[in-house]
Amino acid sequence: MPRRILMTTWGSLGDLHPYIAVGIGLRQRGHEVTIATSEVYRKKIEGEGLGFAPVRPDLGQLLLDRDVVKRALDRKTGTEYLVRQLILPFLAEAYEDLAAAAKDKDLLISHPVAYALPIVAEKLGLPWISIVLSPLALFSTSDPPVFAPAPYLYRLRRLGRWPYTVLYSLFKAQSRAWTTPIHELRRRLGLPRLRAHPLVEANFSPRGVLCWFSRVLAEPQPDWPPRSEITGFAFYDRSESDEQGNPALERFLSDGEPPIVFTLGSGAVWQAGNFYGQSLAAAIRLGRRAVLVVGADPQNQLSGTLPPSVFVAGYAPYSELFSRAAVTVHPGGIGTTAQALRAGRPMLIVPYCHDQPDNASRVARLGAGRILDRSNYDAPSAARELSLLLEDSCYTSRAAEAARRIQAEDGVAAACDAIERIAAGSGTMFKKCENT
């Protein structure tokens, strides 16, 4: 039975692309799909034949402020700043936008920081599904993550689960103060006060929690939310202007040995600092060809004449580029990590914040890559780490094994199957009257 589905997401391309991938899959099965997100992504979404609904705040406007980007990417305080200063102050506006977009829908699909959507679902009486993009968001004590503000706490895992039970309790107690906008909005809407933590337990749908990542990164845990299901990575990385490809990049890739690819994804690229200059120097030090994916920020342009062994691109589809690399260097965002794992090439991860240190740790434990702290990233240290990745065949073989497993998955089909199954089980009993 065809459904009218509203999906919402917010963040970088790593947050957007899986929703487009699954949205296309659902549309091909006959469902009507609308993606609600920042206005800056309208053209990309509508270009794929999906409906679009704008939701505040608009990420495109926030990216214009370098101080905002810098604070959002701070390893110690970035997550708190993101939630308390960039998302929750716009909760009422996001609720208005999502409520308007959801009025004629049958099913809602959320995002880890779309805190307004569960409120919309409850107020309108609509079934909803929550999405998890990376293992960090599941708050597991049996598979504890690496916390960006304090990565050294990962050593506590040798003591068992109890240290993380304590840490999560401390986090929930501290972050209660963050959630005032959620309680205030619910009060104004006449909804009961939440007993569960609004940013943790209440953000997981009782209908189902779909994990859009691979079992290569994490296996199901006994303390995950009820009805959690791993469906695999949902891949998509088309550019709005890549229909003709990049002939110059294609010639470069075909004219020599596989290059080292340096990229900062679509988020950290706006706070690159010396990353590209030091990466160029590292490639020259190693005598290796390199591709630098520098994004649209003019501050990332490299001065002087570049050697013919180096190619600079504003954007390149990772699905096409990474598989032709010798090594990829990136910050560990979940979207970039997924593409790098599928490509089957070793990687050097230079994490900034949020889930990146945890994703990096999981890749390192697979034996498919190494980690270099962002504060220590310079040409000598990068060259040293890259030499190890290039010379030790164990990294290549383990990366290839991870790729084999991921390539055997069909994350889009599995996600669509799960969504249809949950939708079919929802029925009409969750719908409230039109005047509710």
CATH architecture for segment(s) 4-233+409-426:
3-Layer(aba) Sandwich (3.40)
4-233+409-426 matches 247-407 in fold: yes
CB 237 within 8 A of CB 318: yes
pLDDT at 434 over 70: no
Tokens of 365: 């434990």
**Long-range contacts made by residues 170-176, C-beta under 8 angstroms, separation at least 24?**
172/197, 172/200, 175/80, 175/199
Quote the CA–CA distance of 111 and 327 in Å, as a whole number. Answer: 31
**Considering the chain, what is the average pLDDT of its residues?**
94
- Out of 3.40.50.2000, 2.40.110.10, 3.30.420.40, 3.90.1330.10, the CATH code matching 247-407 is 3.40.50.2000
Is the link from the previous residue into 57 a cis peptide, with omega within 30 of 0? yes
pLDDT digits (tens, 9 = 90+) for 142-162: 999 999 999 999 999 999 999
Percent share of the chain, pLDDT over 70: 96
Other C-beta atoms within 10 Å of 28: how many?
12
Give me the DSSP letters along 282-349.
HHHHHT--EEEE--S-GGGPPPSPPPTTEEEES---HHHHGGG-SEEEE---HHHHHHHHHHT--EEE
What pLDDT score does 97 carry?
98
- pLDDT bin (cut points 50, 70, 90) of residue 64 is confident
- pLDDT bin (cut points 50, 70, 90) of residue 244 is low
- pLDDT bin (cut points 50, 70, 90) of residue 240 is low
Average pLDDT for 164-170 = 95
What pLDDT score does 61 carry?
84
pLDDT at 241 over 70: no
pTM score > 0.85 for this model? yes
Q: Give how far Cα 169 sits from Cα of 88, 166, 176, 200, Å.
A: 21, 5, 11, 11
Average pLDDT for 69-78 = 94
CB 136 within 8 A of CB 149: no
Quote the CA–CA distance of 393 and 390 in Å, as a whole number. Answer: 7
What pLDDT score does 303 carry?
80
pLDDT at 20 over 90: yes
What pLDDT score does 238 carry?
82
All structural domains of the chain with their residue ranges: 4-233+409-426, 247-407
Average pLDDT for 369-398 = 97
pLDDT digits (tens, 9 = 90+) for 77-94: 999 999 999 999 999 999
CB 27 within 8 A of CB 49: yes
pLDDT digits (tens, 9 = 90+) for 330-377: 999 999 999 999 999 999 999 999 999 999 999 999 999 999 999 999
What pLDDT score does 381 carry?
98
**Long-range contacts made by residues 61-69, C-beta under 8 angstroms, separation at least 24?**
62/86, 63/270, 66/270, 66/271, 69/270, 69/271
Quote the CA–CA distance of 82 and 283 in Å, as a whole number. Answer: 34
pLDDT digits (tens, 9 = 90+) for 273-322: 999 999 999 999 999 999 999 998 888 888 888 999 999 999 999 999 99
